[in-house]
Structure 1
Amino acid sequence: MLRFTLVQFDAIGADMSFMDSKFSKWGEVETAVLSQSLAKRFARVMLAAVLAASFLPVAAFADTGGDSELKGIKGKTDPIFWYEITSYQNLTKRSSYDWSWEKDGETGAITVTETDDPSRVTVTGTEIGSVILKVSGGDLGDETIRIKIRKRTVGLSSSYGHKIYDGTPLTVTGINEDGEGWISADRDRVTYTMTGSQTNAGESDNTFDVEFPSGSEEYFKEHYAITISYSTLNVAQRPVTLTSASGSKEYDGKPLTNHKVTVGEAARGTGWVDGQGATYSFAGSQKIVGSSENAFECIPNEGTNLDNYQINKTYGTLTVTDRSEKYQITLTPNSKSVTYDGTEKSVSGFETLEFQINGQTFYVSGVEASATGTDAGEYPVTKSGQAVVIDSDGNDVTDQFIVNIDDAKLTIVGVDSDKPASNLPHTGDSAALYAMGICGVAIAAGAGALFTFRKRNNYK
Structure 2
Amino acid sequence: MTLTSADDSKVYDGTALINDTVDVTGDGWANGEGATYNVTGSQTDAGSSDNTFTYTLNEGTLAANYDIATVEGKLTVTALDDEVVVTITENSGTELYDGSEKTVTGYEVTSISNPLYTTSDFTFSGTASVSGTNAGTYDMELKPADFTNNSANFTNVTFVIVDGTLTITKRQVTLTSADDSKVYDGTELTNDTVDVTGDGWANGEGATYNVTGSQTDAGSSDNTFTYTLNDGTLAANYDIATVEGTLTITPVTDEVVVMITEKSGLYKYDGAEKTVTGYTVAISNPLYTEADFTFTGDATVKGTNAGVYNMELKPEDFANTSVNFTNVKFLIFDGTLEITKREVTLTSATDSKVYDGTELTNDTVEVTGEGWADGEGATYDVTGSQLDVGTSDNEFDYTLDSGTLADNYDIFVVFGTLTVTPVTDEVVVTITENSGTELYDGAEETVTGYVVTNISNLLYTEADFTFSGTASVSGTNAGVYNMELKPEDFANDSANFTNVTFVIVDGTLTITKRQVMLTSASARKEYDGTALRNRNVIVGGDGWAAGEGATYNVTGAQLNVGTRYNTFTYALRAGTLAANYDIMKVEGTLTVTPLAVPNFDLGVVPSNVADCLE
TM-score when normalising by structure 1: 0.44
Q: Specify which structure has the bigger relative contact order, considering alpha-carbon pairs within 8 angstroms and separated by 6 or more residues.
A: 1
